[in-house]
Chain A
Amino acid sequence: MMQKLMMRMMLSCQKATELTEKRHHAHLSTKQHIQLYLHTSMCSACKEYQKQSAALEQLFRVKEKMELQPDSKLDTRQLEEKIIKKLKEK
């Protein structure tokens, strides 16, 4: 009985990464929460994946908000001339 229950709660690693991502974007059911918890408490690769996935989300968020860094190396004179020429053609 217990074994049957455990089998039903066991996820594959592929499924575990799915739930890990789903959690960032949508709601997990209680069952899914427990499944994910059980899996990651036994599987170090997926536990690591979970950490890295959260780290990537954090990187994405910082990158979204990243302010413009003035880059003096960008030489846009040619581009400017090209655009001004195009504007005159209009």
Chain B
Amino acid sequence: MQNSFDKSDLTNWVKSYTQELFAWAIQKTGDRQLSEDLVQDTFLIAAEKITTFKKDSQPKTWLIGILKNKIADHYRKVMRKNQVFNDASDPFSLFFNSHGSWIKSAMPQMWDNEPAHLLDNPTFNKTLDGCIENLPKMMGACIRLKFLAEKKAQLICQELGITDTNYWQLIRRAKLHLRSCLETNWFNSN
């Protein structure tokens, strides 16, 4: 079957867009090795699907769309794989005692500056990425999926076969970890 694109087009796309796709993937995943694999897969899928590419659309947008799906797939897989161990791997006793009160060392402290423009600060961004990186797998994947912003929470739940309640409980645990990590490594680190 003949179509208007061939392998030389794709080769040109690799040269033109790899850098941007790679940067995008790193931004969403915080993981270079994973990003390399995802970008490579993106082009391999693009090669298979090239006939579905519409001539008047932007190659970059099309490729980013494929990449986005690849990233989401990856984190969905991570979540499915880690679901079983979910409860055992994150005892609440890290933050609360048996009466449900804050453990003294885990009590939220006042943060000394407003977080509104923090993300403009590359150092803060790095700290946040580091904290996300250190989350238990299931929670990390959940937060990463949130960053893709392509799907509503409800759909993520449906796909993973978890309830809404489980979903925001998961987000809550992730946030308990994140706030504690940011407090230690950013807000009160001086």
Contacts and interface: CB of A to CB of B under 8 A. Distances in A.
A-B complex is real = yes
Interface in B1-57: 7, 10-11, 14-15, 18-20, 22-24, 26-27, 36, 39-40, 43-44, 47
B40 A79 contact: yes
Contacts of B26: 74
A33 interface: no
Contacts of B14: 80, 83-84, 87
A63 interface: yes
B18 A80 contact: yes
A26 to B, nearest CB: 6
B184 interface: no
B25 to A, nearest CB: 10
A38 interface: no
Given A21-B168, A25-B167, A45-B107, A70 B23 contact: yes
A74 to B, nearest CB: 6
A25 B164 contact: yes
A48 B164 CA distance: 25
Given A49-B108, A56-B178, A15 B100 contact: yes
Nearest to B146: A60
Given A68-B24, A68-B27, A87-B44, A25 B168 contact: yes
B176 interface: yes
A12 B128 CA distance: 29
A29 to B, nearest CB: 14
Given A48-B109, A48-B110, A88-B7, A24 B100 contact: no
Contacts of B111: 48, 51-52, 55
A13 B179 contact: no
A17 B172 contact: yes
B102 A45 contact: yes
30 contacts: A12-B100, A12-B101, A13-B96, A14-B101, A15-B100, A17-B172, A18-B172, A21-B168, A21-B172, A24-B171, A25-B164, A45-B102, A45-B108, A46-B102, A46-B108, A52-B108, A55-B115, A56-B175, A58-B115, A58-B116, A59-B115, A60-B147, A63-B119, A63-B128, A64-B148, A68-B20, A71-B23, A76-B22, A80-B15, A82-B40
Given A59-B128, A83-B14, 10 more contacts: A13-B102, A21-B168, A48-B110, A53-B179, A56-B175, A59-B118, A70-B20, A79-B39, A87-B7, A90-B47
